[in-house]
A = this chain, B = another copy of it.
Amino acid sequence: MKDKVTIGMYIDQLRGYDTSKMYLNDFFHTWKESDDEIAATFTVAEILRGLRENNISSKVFQSGLGISLFRDNSTRTRFSFASACNLLGLEVQDLDEGKSQIAHGETVRETANMISFMADVIGIRDDMYIGKGHTYMKEVADAVQQGYRDGVLEQRPTLVNLQCDIDHPTQSMADMLHVINYFGGVDKLKGKKVAMTWAYSPSYGKPLSVPQGVIGLFSRFGMEVVLAHPEGYDVMKECEDVARSNSLKSGGSFRKVNSMEEAFEGADIVYPKSWAPYSIMEERTKIVETGDKQALADLERRCLENNARFKNWECTEELMSTTKNGKALYLHCLPADITGVSCEHGEVAASVFDRYRDPLYKEASFKPYIIAAMIFLSKFKNPAEKLQQLLDEAKPRIK
């Protein structure tokens, strides 16, 4: 728990970052944000957490809506978004249109405006289909931007990407803030080895945005980022390019291997998690468009059969013992497929998962604050001043 002096120091730190372009802007992919913007997001998250720990209200909105749109079942992200909105004083209003009713094109523009007359923020999760999620979010953002410019909307609701087909920034940022806290600061990360690796799961079609988001973000901190997966389980090339370019700039490295063992060897951080191959996800998107159910079932069967060849891609005690001092930090976005618990063969051995439960829950605990920070930075031109004011006034959250 941070005391008020520490919170003040974080606020001072925040003053040093240029966040001007975040104001009235959207948060799509971490790699579209500058280093200052990423650092500011972490810092604001820490400040908001600190305020709450000290029972200081950060309710900056007296009224206003935070609109959520989930095109996928969600409990964790839903509650994270609701918590973040509530922390700042926004009321969540869920747009529950079913997957089919909200078409693209004209309708998006209209719906986006119709729901935004009193919206300050819109959070969208749309991660199921390659080429769709981010495109949809852009359409919504463009629509409300135009509505704002044309005087239809009195305020510009900003958009937070709660997971698209490309990136999952609220997840990777929460993961990274956990890592920063665990290792004691950003400056401690240089040279650390992180293994983002595929792992076996008995399910099919898990989104790519987690591994893509992780390599896209973790590569900015001078770390040795290793992406491991069986042959054929590639992620989007664009994201690998981001990771490669980031690691060059940050003085780290990025490489790909086809062996979990190689990735784990000496790693400081491991992130074993299942995903579907990019090429399969592309194929699925095309099949879904045709509506051919037989083809979809065939693809699923084929994909599961192929997955089954890699049941040995599991985060076992043996593998963990090969990491740095046998004590790598184990990360997961949750829920994990735990061998012998949630399934027969899964991503991780029960004893490994058990040992890391507390750190895993703490990892997740950063997400509401990351989302709140993204909202905050998009809504205040001078965030440090505003946060200083909250700290000084020190209105109690619980009276």
A interface residues with partner B (beta carbon < 8 Å): 49, 52-53, 57-65, 75-76, 79-80, 82-83, 86-89, 91-93, 95, 97, 106-107, 110-111, 113-115, 117-118, 120, 147, 150-154, 334-335, 338, 341-342, 358, 361-362, 364-365, 367-368, 379, 386, 389, 395-399
Q: In the complex this chain forms, how many copies of it are found?
A: 3
Given contacts A63-B57, A110-B334, A361-B147, contact A115 B399 (CB under 8 A): no
Closest Cβ of chain B to A26, distance in Å, is: 18
- Given the complex of chains A and B, what is the CA–CA distance between A59 and B397 in angstroms? 11
Partner of A52, one of B49, B92, B154: B154
**Which residue, of A82, A151, A389, has the highest number of chain B Cβ atoms within 10 A?**
A82
- Given the complex of chains A and B, what is the CA–CA distance between A117 and B335 in angstroms? 16
> With a CB–CB cut-off of 8 A, which chain B residues contact A107?
335, 342
13 other A-B residue contacts (CB within 8 Å) besides A52-B154, A61-B398, A86-B118: A57-B62, A58-B63, A59-B63, A60-B398, A62-B399, A79-B93, A82-B91, A92-B93, A110-B334, A113-B361, A147-B361, A150-B358, A151-B362
- Given the complex of chains A and B, what is the CA–CA distance between A75 and B112 in angstroms? 11
Q: Is the CB of A75 within 8 A of B342?
A: no
Given contacts A75-B114, A115-B75, A118-B368, contact A87 B63 (CB under 8 A): yes
Chain B residue nearest in CB terms to A77: B114
